[in-house]
Structure 1
Amino acid sequence: MSLPVTTPPAGPPSAPAGLALSPSRAADFKQCPLKYRFRAVDRLPEAPSRQAVRGTVVHAVLERLFELPAAQRVPDAVGALLPAAWERVRTERPEAGALISDADFPAFAEEVAALLAGYYRLEDPTAFDPESCELRLEAESADGVPLRGFVDRIDAGPDGALRVVDYKTGKAPGVTQETRALFQLKFYALMMFRTRGIVPAELRLIYLADEQVLTYTPDAAELERFERTLAALWRAVAEAVRTGDFRPSTGWLCAYCDFKPLCPAYGGTPPPYPGLHRADAMSDLDIKD
């Protein structure tokens, strides 16, 4: 069902040109503003984990799988697609190739194959044709907030109803982590709402490690409330970028943060604040999970 897109009000929150909100970077700012700065403004390098590289390869295989005719998307197809997907990933991301050596690749490939086998127990890719895969979306909220994101897959039903699908190679979140998963789904739903004027009929997170599916059915009123939350977040981001005041927020996730040695909460010293000089400072080209 098509819904009217509301007219953006005057006076959107301001920020430097090139900034936008994406699910990943918005989650970073919510978790720790200093982590956001290191990733989005300083663009400091991070060493990918084996799990992250594995996720990127799984996504690459699934993208190529849906380029095949439906009848050819059988389980045996992924084995043929995996070597080329790995070559693509390590060419585009040399740090991934440095992490997985040629000698280690057979064991790594078995891990990827196991996750893809789980995918086939959750969906039959021969039964439908997606509208798009790995789609980059850019939208503007009703408050004038620029939004960006990559959607793994969009399915369209005969009646025009849309389903947004995102693959996760980890396990389904526990109760304490569901909020973050729903944040990502609402973000995608809002972008679809603002770019097409349609509230998606369903949003789906497919967790391959434990073969679970999390679904969410949004409505326009809920998305508009979420949109106001993003506007408040955007104002906070814009003010931090203007002033350079990105304060650390400590917690259990600090133990897994590559930037901990630079964090003043742990005795580190951040690099001099550069301000925002690059138009791509909020690109969302993240290694997939």
Structure 2
Amino acid sequence: MSAPPSTPPAGSGLESAPPPARPALSPSRAADFKQCPLKYRFRTIDRIPEPPSRQAVRGTVVHAVLEDLYALPAAERGPERAMTLAGPAWTRVAAERPESAQLLDGDVELEGFLDEVRALVRTYYRLEDPRGFDPQSCETRLEVELPDGAPLRGFVDRIDVAPTGELRVVDYKTGRAPNPNQETRALFQLKFYALMLLRTRGVVPTQLRLIYLADAQLLTYTPDEDELLRFERTLIALWDAVRTAGRTGDFPPNPSWLCDYCAYKSLCPAFDGTPPPYPGWPAGGESAAETFAESVSD
């Protein structure tokens, strides 16, 4: 995860990360490139770390609680037991990423944060009863190389397989459900996973399910093989564009309203910033940090 990237200018608030991994397309990295090629470069090639946000860390802890919940026998997955998992999940996340702990000042603030986590987990019980089934897997890492060589990588929150063989892909979201004109964008991630399962297992998932915990909403979708193959062609074209940018070092910024929420704004030439020198397209192995980043963001 090639030569280490140059250190950003002093005062940028961003420090250089370890050398980058061999890039691959994950749902989040694909979305980065589509949104802003320069943001993709900073995250994937320069690997300039971003300050953690409370919302993102809370989402990571909720995911950890649900993963731990499904590791229990079905009969023990009641809501009372789930509430006890929040503290240990936070401890594990804070140990893996110590900078997360800096977001919370003292025990009182930590308890308030854990109450937010528990509230989202309680909402989960309004949408599914985890005592009624056993998933095939949780937090599953998928990797596949498409016919043209495009590498795909991702982490699936949950895969369910019915006794009759139907396959369901599930992703937890700690935010609110999108409005109808944003649903296609929301399903991009699950179509990505569905394509990888088609390529690795030869099976089209019967259902894609997004579970929104902030407002207790479900978004479900049934893909078909022709649709996934069209989606594959889209990803192949996107990867070609990424590789071209990687060879040339041309990752242009794409200013939008999202720039106000970007940790790299001070380095962006669209806002009079100066990016560090381009370190070149990486060809090394993958680091543990990259694995963690992919699992959290996807």
What TM-score results when the alignment is normalised by the length of structure 1?
0.91
* 1:164 pairs with one of 169, 176, 179: 169
* 1:224 pairs with one of 192, 216, 229: 229
Counterpart in the other structure of 1:9: none
Q: Where does the alignment leave 5 or more consecutive residues of structure 2 unmatched?
A: 1-19
Displacement, 1:79? 1.7
Percent identity between the aligned chains?
Answer: 66
Moved more, 31-40 or 78-87: 78-87
In the TM superposition, 1:48-87 aligns within 5 A as 48-87=52-91
8 A Cα contact 1:147 1:191, kept in partner: yes
8 A Cα contact 2:67 2:138, kept in partner: yes
| Separation in 2, partners of 1:210, 1:118 | 8
Q: Secondary structure at the match of 2:220?
A: strand
Counterpart in the other structure of 1:198: 203
In the TM superposition, 1:78-227 aligns within 5 A as 78-103=82-107, 104-227=109-232
8 A Cα contact 1:138 1:146, kept in partner: yes
AA at the equivalent of 1:32: C
| Separation in 2, partners of 1:74, 1:157 | 22
Moved more, 149-158 or 179-188: 179-188
Counterpart in the other structure of 2:30: 26
1:91-123 superposed Cα distances (whole Å, 9 cap, x missing partner) = 001111111233311110111111001000000
Q: Does 1:280 align with 2:289?
A: no
AA at the equivalent of 1:194: R
Counterpart in the other structure of 1:262: 267
1:18-72 superposed Cα distances (whole Å, 9 cap, x missing partner) = 2211000000000000000000000001011110010000000000000000000
CA gap of 1:253–1:98, structure 2 versus 1, over 3 A, is same
8 A Cα contact 1:142 1:227, kept in partner: no
Displacement, 1:146? 1.1
8 A Cα contact 1:59 1:288, kept in partner: no
CA gap of 1:167–1:62, structure 2 versus 1, over 3 A, is same
The one of the two structures with greater contact order (alpha-carbon pairs below 8 A, sep at least 6) is 1
Q: Secondary structure at the match of 1:285?
A: helix
Displacement, 1:17? 8.7
1:183-225 superposed Cα distances (whole Å, 9 cap, x missing partner) = 1111010000000000000010000000111111111000000
8 A Cα contact 2:195 2:232, kept in partner: yes
| Separation in 2, partners of 1:85, 1:59 | 9
Displacement, 1:82? 1.1
AA at the equivalent of 1:167: Y
Moved more, 122-131 or 79-88: 79-88
AA at the equivalent of 1:21: L
| Separation in 1, partners of 2:75, 2:143 | 32
Displacement, 1:133? 0.3
AA at the equivalent of 2:54: R
Q: Secondary structure at the match of 2:170?
A: strand
CA gap of 1:110–1:70, structure 2 versus 1, over 3 A, is same
| Separation in 1, partners of 2:274, 2:184 | 32
Q: Secondary structure at the match of 1:113?
A: helix
Displacement, 1:141? 1.9
8 A Cα contact 2:155 2:295, kept in partner: no
What TM-score results when the alignment is normalised by the length of structure 2?
0.88
Q: Secondary structure at the match of 1:199?
A: coil
Q: Secondary structure at the match of 1:155?
A: strand
| Separation in 2, partners of 1:257, 1:177 | 21
AA at the equivalent of 1:102: G
Q: Where does the alignment leave 5 or more consecutive residues of structure 1 unmatched?
A: 1-15
Q: Does 1:241 align with 2:246?
A: yes
Runs (4+) of structure 1 exceeding 4 A deviation are 281-284
Counterpart in the other structure of 2:6: none
Aligned positions, number: 274
8 A Cα contact 1:27 1:180, kept in partner: no
Please provide the CA RMSD for this pair.
1.6
